[in-house]
Amino acid sequence: MKLKLTFWKVVFCMIMAMGVYSTFVRFYYGIGAVSNMSDRFPWGIWIGFDVLCGVMLAAGAFIVTGAAYLLNIERLHVIARPAVLTAFLGYCLVIVGLMFDLGRPWYIWHQLIYMNPHSVMFEVGFCVMFYTTVLMFEFSAAVLERFNLAKPLKWVKAALVPLVVLGVLLSTLHQSSLGTMYLIMPTKLHPFWYSPALPFLFFISAVAVGLAMTIFESSLSSRAFGRQLELPILVELGGVLYVTLWIYALLRFEDYFHRGQLTNILHPSYEAYFLWLELALAVVIPLAILSFRRARLNGTMLYVASCSTLLGFVTNRLNVSITGLDTWPGHHYFPKWTEASITAMIIALGFFIFATAVKYLPIFEGAHYTLPSAEHGPEPAELPELAPEPTLAD
């Protein structure tokens, strides 16, 4: 255990070192020096992964909070706070990623004054900005609770339901709009991925990924922090994931059927290989696993199905943003190592901040979080027996 921890620390430091070097190159020599993007391929993995996948992987919060507080499913309250933490972190890191990708990031505030309501990107930008603020308020409950700030905590609790409604609303808009963004490229995006149904496909896959991400993060953190797995809840989420994936699979089939692509997707080609990988991971494997009742009741199998779903939809977003647009003759985009190292740094930061937050803030129910010794005397770690049962409100 000790050795493993050291190993991950070394990996973390190496990723950070490479990332810091690449950050220097990015902000000293420009995007051209640090990435393989070009006039032929203006959007690389910083948009394809950092933004598209980042937003998608942070979808858990709006689903869990919506189910817990709007559908009033009280037993979901215990997983609401970790989901909100994941999302808040995720959106913050999306914005960090954008700071690298935007050529003139110091003008990002122009979004607020030079508004173009015809632009999908304007709408996405606005929603992301707004929703990050909503998540900040939702998450602030944990911080306020930790420092016993009763009064502001009361305000946040009072505002919780409107915040959750706003969160679901904004998420519905921008999760689907990330798909709408690609509707402007009917001649450029490969027909395997260009579909008038893109906004709907993006939204439904965000729901599936939100569920899978919640299962993934619950399973992983129960291992990492030695907590008990909330299996009954995960079993329920697994069931909803199963149904959502069926809806997605059906919609995808209908889309290919109506656009006459059903035979094309079976012919081997560069794009077809990536499509097969995507569909196998996102749809076929998880549906195959979850179709067994025994697997749906098994923590490990739920974890495996979720991982496959996550990898599958990450492949999907990369296919839409990279594989499907990579059609210039004799030119394939592949990220430069410095470009990839910035993405790796952002992911590593995400894991690090999550682990730190869980350690010091009341995120998981009954978890042992450390109180900083500066305030609470020399024996801080002994307190956690009294740790509250944190939920977003209550």
Partner 1 sequence: MSKAILYDATLCIACKQCEGACAQQNNLPYDDTIAAEAVQSEHKYTVVLTENDKFMRRLCMHCNEPACASVCPVGALHKTKEGPVVYDVYKCIGCRYCMVSCAFSQPKYEWGKLNPRIRKCIMCPDRVTQGRPTACAEICPTGATKFGDRDALIAEAKERLRQNPSNYVPHVYGLEEVGGTSVLLLSSVAVESFGLPASAKLGTTPMPDYTFRILSKIPDFVPLWALVLGGVYWITHRREAVALAEGSGHGNHQGGTK
Q: Which residues contact 190 (CB under 8 A, 6 or more apart)?
A: 271, 323, 324, 325, 327
| Residues 79 and 64: beta-carbon distance below 8 Å | yes
Site string for partner 1, 341-370 (x = CB under 8 A): ------------------------------
Q: Determine which residue in the list 96, 121, 240, 251 makes contact with partner 1, applying CB under 8 A.
A: 121
∠227-230-236 over CA atoms, to 5°?
A: 160
Nearer to partner 1, 73 or 220 (CB): 73
Residue 116 interacts with partner 1 (CB under 8 A)? yes
Q: Which residues contact 116 (CB under 8 A, 6 or more apart)?
A: 122
Record the tokens describing residue 22, joined without a space: 């690449």
SS (H, E, C) 243-283: HHHHHHHHHHHHHHHHCCCCCHHHCCCHHHHHHHHHHHHHH
Residue 258 interacts with partner 1 (CB under 8 A)? no
Q: Determine which residue in the list 115, 224, 247, 381 makes contact with partner 1, applying CB under 8 A.
A: 115
User: How many Cα neighbours within 13 Å face the side chain of 241?
Assistant: 37
Q: Determine which residue in the list 21, 43, 137, 276 makes contact with partner 1, applying CB under 8 A.
A: 43
Task: Measure the CA–CA gap between 172 and 210, rounded to whole angstroms.
Answer: 12
Residue 161 interacts with partner 1 (CB under 8 A)? yes
Judged by CB under 8 A, the chain residues 307 through 326 that form the site for partner 1 are 325
* Segment near partner 1 (CB under 8 A); pick from 27-35, 83-91, 225-233, 363-371: 27-35
- Minimum distance from residue 179 beta carbon to partner 1 (Å): 9
Residue 393 interacts with partner 1 (CB under 8 A)? no
Residue 72 interacts with partner 1 (CB under 8 A)? yes
Residue 260 interacts with partner 1 (CB under 8 A)? no
Record the tokens describing residue 128, joined without a space: 């992301």
Three-state DSSP class for residue 363: coil
Task: Measure the CA–CA gap between 19 and 343, rounded to whole angstroms.
Answer: 8
Task: Measure the CA–CA gap between 58 and 354, rounded to whole angstroms.
Answer: 13
Residue 114 interacts with partner 1 (CB under 8 A)? yes
41: DSSP letter: B
Residue 129 interacts with partner 1 (CB under 8 A)? no
Nearer to partner 1, 83 or 98 (CB): 98
Q: Determine which residue in the list 13, 20, 147, 186 makes contact with partner 1, applying CB under 8 A.
A: 186
The residues binding partner 1 (CB under 8 A) are 27-33, 37-40, 42-43, 66, 69-74, 101-105, 107-108, 110-111, 114-123, 125, 161, 165, 168-169, 172-173, 177, 180-181, 183-188, 199, 325
